[in-house]
């Protein structure tokens, strides 16, 4: 297995390249680590490679807040500086002065 460095880090705000949602990263898998069922549910024409980092996001769109699991190739930096409204973001992170979220002291490793 080749080693890949993640492009994004915990606490960064990102947005999906295709779908209209954004989120705060709260965990990173160095390569795909979800179920085959989940994988096969992704339409083949947009199914990403498994050998790249995948990110767990506290995600939100115009209608709801949820947890998303997204490949690195489908994420980009979100520089809108709009605050996140996802309840778990405020519960687990503090916002710093540069549009980044830092894990609260109780949740740091």
Q: What is the pLDDT of residue 24?
A: 96
Round the average pLDDT of the chain to a whole number and report it: 90
* Beta-sheet pairing, 54-60 with 13-16: unpaired
**Residues contacting 42, CB < 8 A, separation 6+:** 48
What digits encode the pLDDT tens for the residues 24-74? 999 999 999 999 999 999 889 889 999 999 999 999 999 999 999 999 999
Res 75 pLDDT > 70: yes
User: Higher pLDDT residue, 86 or 108?
Assistant: 86
pLDDT tier for residue 107 given thresholds of 50, 70 and 90: low
* Beta-sheet pairing, 54-60 with 22-29: antiparallel
């Amino acid at each position: 297995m080749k080693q890949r460095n993640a492009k994004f880090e915990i606490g960064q705000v990102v947005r999906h390249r295709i779908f209209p949602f954004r989120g705060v990263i709260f965990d990173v898998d160095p390569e795909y680590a979800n179920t085959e069922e989940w994988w096969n549910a992704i339409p083949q024409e947009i199914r990403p490679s498994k050998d790249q980092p995948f990110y767990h996001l506290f995600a939100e769109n115009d209608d709801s807040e949820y947890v998303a699991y997204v490949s690195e190739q489908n994420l980009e930096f979100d520089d809108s500086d709009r605050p996140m409204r996802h309840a778990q973001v405020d519960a687990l992170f503090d916002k710093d002065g540069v549009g980044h979220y830092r894990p609260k002291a109780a949740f740091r490793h």
